[in-house]
Amino acid sequence: MVLEATMICIDNSEWMRNGDYSPSRFQAQADAVNLICGAKTQSNPENTVGVLTMAGKGVRVLVTPTSDLGKILACMHGLEIGGEMNLAAGIQVAQLALKHRQNKKQQQRIIVFAGSPVKFDKKVLEMIGRKLKKNSVALDVVNFGEEDEAKTEKLEALVAAVNNNDSSHIVHVPPGPSALSDVLISTPIFTGDGEGGSGFAAAAAAAAAGGAGFEFGVDPNLDPELALALRVSMEEERARQEAAAKKAAEEAAKQEKGEQSTSQDVNMTDTAKAGTSESENKATDLTDDENALLQQALAMSMDDSSSNIATRDTDMPEAAGDDQDLALALQLSVQDSMKDESSPADMSKLLADQSFVSSILASLPGVDPNDPSVKDLLASMQNQSEHKKDEDKEPKEEDKK
Amino acid sequence: MSAESASAIQRNQVDLLDFVDWSGVECLNQSGTHSLPNALKQGYREDEGLVLESDADEQLLIYIPFNQVVKLHSIIIKGPEEEGPKTVKLFSNREHMGFSNVNDFPPSDTAVLSEDNLKGKPVILKYVKFQNVRSLTVFVEDNQSSSDITKVQKIVLCGTTSSVHLMRLSGDAIL
């Protein structure tokens, strides 16, 4: 993840027409360049890459260091092959282009593809190398194409002169069955001095295959802030989805309740919620079908069979806020359930206490204790659920009248 | 009055090491093993054995930013007799210079170090040129014996910061 500005020097001389690398030396080189550009920009989004050609009419900068991958790939099209490679001039122009980079904090690197013979002296190249080292520019050389002992020796001397703490490398790629790019992937040119190299190389080879097994595709060592941000947003999303699912289930449950008098879902352990939902029901059903639903609520808490009470939890606080008495009722029911886990029995005792229930009902706005249906309700609290169903229908009809 | 203020300046001089912004300190052409902290950092520079060495040739370009504006009064450069620096050019407030453009700008000051300087005698600078220094670039052009490697054992920057100077002024006013 080093912040780097890179200049890639392409050899587009006549020697590149040769087909000993498939499909041709030039094409293999172009593929390798594309891969390197992708690798550099991926390892650090602020990295910039530029491209120049060394042969043809003269050294020509195709694109100055930029982080825009599209621009770089576009300039690789329509390149003409011809002329002779001018290595010294190419490196010097690359150095100049790097000197004028926008972000001075970037490290400077030059990558040279040397496919044709080198006509310069070893001494000249060593001087160039020393100058690069003095200005802390790193150099990577890809020695492919023409195989020439003198060429190899000169390039080795050049890299040795530049090399400072193993930041510069030279790679020899002989012609063979495997493509130039494939051979380069495993070299330090790609892996960048071993920093986060393996993770990146694997990703490059597998074409962005989820970051080589790291969670979220980002190596926490390489980019801890990004990994943390991804993890946090994943958890938030999960929580949000759960809440949404809960709400959806509640909505569904409410719909059901309106239709059936009692639901048969048993939730023995959530007896605390049973008590509270009863009070909650009292509040929410006031505006509607008060008595019917009220009856259902009481029946629910009487029975061990309560509806999917868990899903109604979130409505409770809102209900409580509306009514002080309701809050009191809530408190009482909660207290009761806390005292005894299996509190339906207690709850029924409480409800059986007529005076208590009457007082609660009286405090509820809109419920008249003298209402016959309410009286029926109170009377029927000890009855079976089927019996309550009938009574439930009665008040419904009454109210419809 | 002026004599008093001159001595006041010397009295208030501090070692500007505390105001160096270490995250931005750079040195071009330094050797990997003998690097700038050997000459600049508190513990290392006292050790005579630890020196800053040049690498590819005898020149060095040291860039020192400060975390506040300072006034530079003098510098001390210690080094060995033979390979110690000779011509030293100082540039104030020039960011990211390279060896190619050192000769494009006139330096704020130039010092030719003598043997005494290399033993620790401070070089008094043109104070007026270093009144509000945000960063200092030290260009070591050559060394005493024209050898391939320049060695610097210690660099000390002496001066004042604006806050100290203001305090001094207010003291005078009260009197």
Query: Going residue by residue through chain B (175 aa), what tens digit of pLDDT does each one get?
Result: 444 444 434 566 889 888 999 988 989 998 888 888 888 888 888 888 888 999 888 999 999 999 999 999 999 999 998 889 999 999 999 988 888 888 888 999 999 999 999 888 999 999 899 999 999 999 999 999 988 899 999 999 999 987 654 545 555 554 4
A179-217 pLDDT, tens digit per residue, is 888 899 888 888 765 454 444 444 444 444 344 445 566
Q: Which two structure tokens, joined as six digits, stand for B8? A: 């006041």
Among A57, A139, A55, A63, residue whose Cα is nearest residue A95? A139
Domains in chain A, ordered, with CATH?
2-125+134-190 (3.40.50.410)
Number of continuous H segments (helices) and E segments (strands) in chain A? 17, 6
Whole-angstrom CA distances from A387 to A250, A261, A277 are 27, 11, 22
Interface of B with A in 43-72 (CB under 8 A): 55-57, 59
**A133/B98 CB distance under 8 A:** no
Q: Which two structure tokens, joined as six digits, stand for A90? A: 């190419």
Q: What are phi and psi of A109, to 5 degrees?
A: -145, 140
Between A3 and A389, name the one with better pLDDT.
A3
pLDDT-wise least confident of A319-328, A357-366, B85-94: A319-328
pLDDT exceeds cutoff 80 at A381: no
Provide the shortest C-alpha distance from residue A105 to chain B (in Å).
9
The residues, any chain, with a CB within 8 Å of residue A252's CB and separated by 6 or more, are none
Enumerate the residues of chain B whose CB falls inside 8 A of the CB of residue A134: 28-29, 55-57, 59, 99
End-to-end Cα, chain A, rounded Å: 77
pLDDT reported for residue A264 = 46
Most A-contacting residue of B57, B58, B140, B150 (CB-CB within 10 A), to test interface: B57
What's the rounded Cα separation, in Å, for the pair A339 and B89? 86
pLDDT reported for residue A12 = 94
Q: Do residues A297 and A316 make contact, with C-beta atoms less than 8 angstroms apart? A: no
Q: What are phi and psi of A113, to 5 degrees?
A: -100, 105
Share of chain A above pLDDT 90, in %: 37
pLDDT exceeds cutoff 90 at A154: yes
Q: Do residues A315 and A394 make contact, with C-beta atoms less than 8 angstroms apart? A: no
Enumerate the residues of chain A whose CB falls inside 8 A of the CB of residue B57: 130, 134
pLDDT reported for residue A283 = 45
pLDDT reported for residue A303 = 60
Between A26 and A78, name the one with better pLDDT.
A26
Average pLDDT in the A359-387 region?
Answer: 64
Mutual orientation of helices A315-322 and A324-339 as an angle, nearest 10°? 130
Average pLDDT in the A39-53 region?
Answer: 93
A307-316 pLDDT, tens digit per residue, is 444 444 444 5
What's the rounded Cα separation, in Å, for the pair A91 and B79? 35
Provide the shortest C-alpha distance from residue B38 to chain A (in Å).
18
DSSP E strands in chain B: the ranges are 14-15, 26-28, 52-53, 60-78, 87-92, 109-112, 123-124, 133-140, 151-152, 154-161
Closest B-chain CA to A129: B56
Provide DSSP, A242-292: HHHHHHHHHHHHHHHHHH-S------GGGHHHHHHHHHHHHHHTSSSSHHH
Residue B39's identity, in one-letter code, is: A
Between A319 and B58, name the one with better pLDDT.
B58
SS3 letters across B123-137: EECCHHHHCCEEEEE
pLDDT reported for residue A52 = 96
pLDDT reported for residue A278 = 47
What is the H or E stretch that residue A332 is in?
Answer: helix A324-339
Residue B52 gets which letter from DSSP? E
- ipTM reported for the complex, 2 dp: 0.79
What's the rounded Cα separation, in Å, for the pair A308 and A316? 14
What's the rounded Cα separation, in Å, for the pair A333 and A354? 16
Q: Which member of A99, A134, A165 has the closest CB to residue B29? A: A134
Per-residue confidence band for A226, with pLDDT thresholds at 50, 70 and 90: confident
- Average pLDDT of chain A? 75
Closest A-chain CA to B24: A105
Quick check: B99 contacting A, CB < 8 Å? yes
pLDDT exceeds cutoff 90 at A343: no
A96-139 pLDDT, tens digit per residue, is 999 999 988 899 999 999 999 999 999 999 999 999 999 999 99
Residue B122 gets which letter from DSSP? P
Q: What are phi and psi of B60, to 5 degrees?
A: -135, 145
pLDDT reported for residue B76 = 92
Q: What are phi and psi of A354, to 5 degrees?
A: -55, -45
pLDDT reported for residue B45 = 83
Residue B20 gets which letter from DSSP? B
Provide the shortest C-alpha distance from residue A312 to chain B (in Å).
57
pLDDT reported for residue B32 = 82
What's the rounded Cα separation, in Å, for the pair A393 and A143? 91
SS3 letters across B139-170: EECCECCCCCCCEECEEEEEEEEHHHHHHHHH
**B57/A134 CB distance under 8 A:** yes
Interface of A with B (CB under 8 A): 99, 104, 130-131, 133-136, 164-165
What's the rounded Cα separation, in Å, for the pair A341 and A277? 16
